Structure 1
Amino acid sequence: MKKLSYSIYLAGLLLLNAGCSKQLDLKPEGTMVEADLLKDRQSAESFLADAYLQTMNACGADAYMLGDITGNIVSSFDQALVKGAIDPRDKNYEPYWQRPYAAINEANVIINNLPTYATFDPAIQKQFIGEAKFIRAYCHLILLQMYGDGALQGQGSNMGIPIMTTAFEGYDGSQNKARNTNAEVYTQILKDLDDAIAALPAVRSASLDQGSRATSGAAAALASRVCLYKQDYQRAATYANMVLNGNQYTLQKTFAAMWPNNGTGTGNYPINAETIFAFPESYNATANYGENNGIYYAYGYYTPLPDFLASYDATDDRFLAIKGGTFVPKYTDMRIRDNVIMIRLAEVMLTAAEAQAQVSGVNQGSVDLLNKIYSRSFSVNAVPKVYTMGDFTSKQQLIDRILLERKRELAFEGFARFDAIRYGKQPNPLMQPANYAMPIPQHEIDITGGLIKQNPGYVK
């Protein structure tokens, strides 16, 4: 029975009790054996809270900005990252690999051991395991989209990442695993998400819980993204429509309603009904230096690129919000404490539109969804065009228009790199196809005695 050192320092990232607005304590709780840690609901839920925190650590900050920094959306001083010319021995990039696995390990502790040690309500246990499977799925996807060789281009038999489904017991070499194929990783992710859909509630009683803890809708929404990346368009449409037909989420009326300016840096920012899953950083009770979301758009370190700005209509709210072509309007709190939006309804609507167009060609449903997202961004000026099926002479023309809207709508949310790669396009003019997958950290190759293989673009 191994010991686990864990800290309950989430404060507002998760609610301690279902339906309660009480924030978690910020005090380290020391070292406990699993039998004690997972026995009662409070300590088990606190450990689950830390798994969410580890997930934010893995998916936020640099990992969140990666898709836009390398996707020709915003500038960056890190030209090695932009070009894909990363040295596998450079330890600065190791957290991209290490942090998701740290979150996966905590999720595995819950999945593997909660049924053995827990003494509280089995129905609550089932929900906790569902949340842990959502976390495990999310982090495996983050890893796969960065490191899977051809994972976004339909290359199912190529090297993906090692699938981890058991908790780490302390390193002795026996835990070393080779990379699973991309197809195997996708299968595991979708299995976890299907399990989560079955185990999780659609609605939570507290609004903060609804947006910051996994629900069946969040699991289905993530599954639609997974299937889109896998190029399984029929299943992508099915999962997306599961979310849309559930009527649990509402598209905000304007861009500003979805993304209010947090420049004043005060208070807790609400999670609105368009948000399906987010990390509520503004609710963190601490104000210590460095304890923030790590997304430094508010400081102007990363500015929108001219090619991207040129993709907008001149009267588009989203374009007008980028003041002077330098302001990123989605993350504006100078304390870097904006809530981090990971999944929202607009993404799912565009996924449904794209997937259905791939399956059925030009169709009214896809056109309607496109119009809803496009027209939402003209709250002051007239919508330049309302599309009809007659505006598209081919399936590809409709898909291209949906992808353009996806680029505009999801800018600064980390999608651009991956959307380009899955259609065989350069994420930016400097990155070559051999470097679309990031290099596996050399440390992982060395410590496994070469069991883990490097991606082809970095083998000398």
Structure 2
Amino acid sequence: MLSTVVLAGCSDDLEVKPYDGLTFDQTTNTPEGLKAATIGNYSYLKDSYYTRNYHMLTEYASDNVALSGTTTDPLFYAYNYQHLTSMSITTNFFRKAYQAIYGTNVVIEKLKEGQSAELDQILGENYFLRAMVHFDLVNVFGRPYAQDQGASLGIMIRDNTDINDLPARSTVKQTYEFILKDLEKAAQLMGSTKNSSFASKEVAYALLSRVHLFMENNEKAIEYANMVINSNRYALVSTADLPKYFSFASESNKETIFAIKHTIQDDRGWASLGSMYLSDGMGYGEMYASASYRDLVNKFPDDKRREFIVPVYLRNADGSIRTGADGKPLLASRNGYEKYFITKYSYQEGVVTLSSPVYLRLAEMYLSRAEANAKLGNHAAALEDVNLIRQRSGLSGDALFSPSNMMGYTSVLDVVLDERRLELAWEAHRKFDVFRNNRTMVRNYPGTHLLSGQTTQEIPYTHPRVVFFIPEEEIILNPNLVQNP
């Protein structure tokens, strides 16, 4: 109020500009302004409305997890496939995603191609981010491409900053075509010098491989995976370092292709991804490794991926592990569900709840190549890549696959899909891997996804809740949108 009085008494000739009082045009009409805007677009990804909600919508619907209690948090409806049209996690994810897309469109519209290599890099990063966010959206709200070759409804494609434009939903096929075009443009514009906290040429190649895999363009999926692998920019972390993979800062991890960078200033504490998976002085520790995943990974005691799971034991007063009459350790439980914590989103740089979610990594490229080769009938090549990942996990000898040692499997594709599950668990892959391959999500294990008296939950790939409802509020705002069945 005092400032208002003082300024009112000043001469009309005195023009006062606050230090941050630049207009929108002033901040987006300079190269430095567009660079800053691009950093802002990355920041949308690490917003909890984007990353946390995306994780809950995808990983919590998989067979890798078991929730140990009921909750009023809408994550419960994602977990048990009882979706609502007014779930805050879908509404907030939808809006944050389109905010990010709007931000990329600002830069793409303002930045002219060919001014310099540096500015082309910035432009390419925005094309990548726009493609990535559209891809995440269409996989949450649109049915898997391979089920009907993309004929079903996808999402709104937003390629401009016209806020009065209210597009209808494009088909999944149209959305994928838009994504591919953006990624190819991004790869053309970008170089290979930026670390994994930013997009680069190989980051675009890696996502192109995934998109083509989802479309079952298997030759193209292999082609782009090879471009990443043969770039020699990345290497699998060692067997010894594998259990510590997610504790390393992402830009210093030689296997990570792209991660959503979080620093200590970005630590979400109780709201972090890891908080639901682990309790260690902080964290709820309510989402556990499922019995079916544990059964799969425990087939081979030397598998280093077992170390991402931490069984929680009852303790005596002196801190020692309590044992039963049979001498075996007694597991702690919550609501009758045995506690098996998961550490993939914890302990980055020693901080319990800090994590930089990994979006693309080299192991995925080998496994995508393996899946594509399996579908093309190149079984020897597929098993070779599977064995490469298994060897890195500490397995050897009879624990490796061969035509004469299929370990009970009758299909190489089944081998690959189980290896993807083992390697990429809790990294938001499993739900898509099951349904895009026309498989059933089998959750016949303890957890609150089961109603009282039930022992099984099986979600067929044809189920309408393979995808989420378009947020009801968005349909009110844009009457051109059509709801999912």
Classify the TM-score, shorter chain.
Answer: 0.7 to 0.9
Match of 1:304 among 289, 292, 301: 289
Q: Alpha-carbon deviation of 1:388?
A: 2.5
Q: Alpha-carbon deviation of 1:59?
A: 4.7
Q: Equivalents in 2 of 1:375, 1:454: separation in Å?
A: 46
Q: Equivalents in 1 of 2:268, 2:62: separation in Å?
A: 32
- 1:161-207 Cα shifts (integer Å, max 9, x gaps): 010001244xxxx3111000111000000000001111111233xxx
Matched, 1:369 2:385: yes
Q: Alpha-carbon deviation of 1:362?
A: 3.6
Q: Alpha-carbon deviation of 1:29?
A: 7.9
Supply the RMSD in Å over aligned alpha carbons.
2.8
Q: State whether residues 71 and 416 of structure 1, in contact with CA within 8 Å, keep that contact through their aligned partners in structure 2.
A: yes
Question: Which residue of structure 2 lines up, in the alignment, with residue 319 of structure 1?
Answer: 306
Q: Alpha-carbon deviation of 1:439?
A: 0.5
Q: Equivalents in 1 of 2:31, 2:275: separation in Å?
A: 33
Q: Equivalents in 2 of 1:257, 1:326: separation in Å?
A: 19
Q: Alpha-carbon deviation of 1:133?
A: 0.6
Question: Which residue of structure 1 lines up, in the alignment, with residue 454 of structure 2?
Answer: none
Q: Equivalents in 1 of 2:217, 2:166: separation in Å?
A: 31
Matches within 5 A, 1:39-438: 39-57=29-47, 59-76=50-67, 77=70, 78-115=75-112, 121-169=115-163, 174-204=164-194, 210-254=195-239, 256-257=241-242, 259-260=244-245, 262=247, 271-282=252-263, 284-285=264-265, 296-298=276-278, 299=283, 300-312=285-297, 313-315=299-301, 316-324=303-311, 326-333=340-347, 335-359=352-376, 361-378=377-394, 384-391=398-405, 397-427=411-441, 428=443, 429=457, 431=459, 433-438=463-468
Question: What secondary structure, in the 3-state scheme, does the structure 2 residue paired with 1:176 have?
Answer: coil
Q: Equivalents in 1 of 2:429, 2:420: separation in Å?
A: 9
Q: Alpha-carbon deviation of 1:138?
A: 0.5
Judged with a 3 Å threshold, the aligned counterparts in structure 2 of structure 1 residues 250 and 434 are, in CA distance, closer, same or farther, namely: same
Q: State whether residues 130 and 195 of structure 1, in contact with CA within 8 Å, keep that contact through their aligned partners in structure 2.
A: yes
Q: Quick check: 182-191 or 424-433, which moved more? A: 424-433
How many residues were matched structurally? 408
Q: State whether residues 148 and 437 of structure 1, in contact with CA within 8 Å, keep that contact through their aligned partners in structure 2.
A: yes
Q: Equivalents in 2 of 1:287, 1:317: separation in Å?
A: 27
Q: State whether residues 308 and 344 of structure 2, in contact with CA within 8 Å, keep that contact through their aligned partners in structure 1.
A: no
Question: What secondary structure, in the 3-state scheme, does the structure 2 residue paired with 1:211 have?
Answer: coil
- 1:123-155 Cα shifts (integer Å, max 9, x gaps): 222111100011001100100111113435244
Question: Which residue of structure 2 lines up, in the alignment, with residue 441 of structure 1?
Answer: 471
Q: Alpha-carbon deviation of 1:296?
A: 3.9
Judged with a 3 Å threshold, the aligned counterparts in structure 2 of structure 1 residues 65 and 289 are, in CA distance, closer, same or farther, namely: closer
Q: State whether residues 107 and 132 of structure 1, in contact with CA within 8 Å, keep that contact through their aligned partners in structure 2.
A: yes
Question: What secondary structure, in the 3-state scheme, does the structure 2 residue paired with 1:167 have?
Answer: coil
Q: State whether residues 258 and 272 of structure 1, in contact with CA within 8 Å, keep that contact through their aligned partners in structure 2.
A: no
Q: Alpha-carbon deviation of 1:423?
A: 1.4
Q: Equivalents in 2 of 1:32, 1:384: separation in Å?
A: 66
Q: State whether residues 137 and 189 of structure 1, in contact with CA within 8 Å, keep that contact through their aligned partners in structure 2.
A: yes
- 1:330-375 Cα shifts (integer Å, max 9, x gaps): 112355222221100001110011112212x143322211111011
Q: Once the two structures are aligned, what percentage of the paired residues are identical?
A: 26
Question: What secondary structure, in the 3-state scheme, does the structure 1 residue paired with 2:238 have?
Answer: coil
Question: What secondary structure, in the 3-state scheme, does the structure 2 residue paired with 1:115 have?
Answer: coil
Q: State whether residues 276 and 345 of structure 1, in contact with CA within 8 Å, keep that contact through their aligned partners in structure 2.
A: yes
Question: Which residue of structure 2 lines up, in the alignment, with residue 4 of structure 1?
Answer: none
Q: State whether residues 234 and 256 of structure 2, in contact with CA within 8 Å, keep that contact through their aligned partners in structure 1.
A: yes
Q: State whether residues 141 and 189 of structure 1, in contact with CA within 8 Å, keep that contact through their aligned partners in structure 2.
A: yes
Larger Rg: 2
Gaps of 5+ in 2: 1-17, 312-338, 444-456
Counterpart residue identity of residue 213, structure 2: L
Judged with a 3 Å threshold, the aligned counterparts in structure 2 of structure 1 residues 389 and 367 are, in CA distance, closer, same or farther, namely: same
Counterpart residue identity of residue 132, structure 2: Y
Q: Equivalents in 1 of 2:230, 2:157: separation in Å?
A: 32
Q: Equivalents in 2 of 1:332, 1:393: separation in Å?
A: 33
Judged with a 3 Å threshold, the aligned counterparts in structure 2 of structure 1 residues 275 and 289 are, in CA distance, closer, same or farther, namely: closer
Q: Quick check: 61-70 or 341-350, which moved more? A: 61-70
Q: Equivalents in 1 of 2:400, 2:407: separation in Å?
A: 16
Judged with a 3 Å threshold, the aligned counterparts in structure 2 of structure 1 residues 287 and 94 are, in CA distance, closer, same or farther, namely: closer
Q: State the TM-score, normalized to the length of structure 2.
A: 0.77
Q: State whether residues 362 and 392 of structure 1, in contact with CA within 8 Å, keep that contact through their aligned partners in structure 2.
A: no
Question: Which residue of structure 2 lines up, in the alignment, with residue 13 of structure 1?
Answer: none
Q: State the TM-score, normalized to the length of structure 1.
A: 0.81
Q: Alpha-carbon deviation of 1:305?
A: 0.9
Counterpart residue identity of residue 277, structure 2: Y
Question: What secondary structure, in the 3-state scheme, does the structure 2 residue paired with 1:276 have?
Answer: strand
Q: Equivalents in 2 of 1:47, 1:292: separation in Å?
A: 25
Q: State whether residues 220 and 240 of structure 1, in contact with CA within 8 Å, keep that contact through their aligned partners in structure 2.
A: yes
Q: Equivalents in 2 of 1:354, 1:288: separation in Å?
A: 35
Q: Equivalents in 2 of 1:91, 1:286: separation in Å?
A: 22
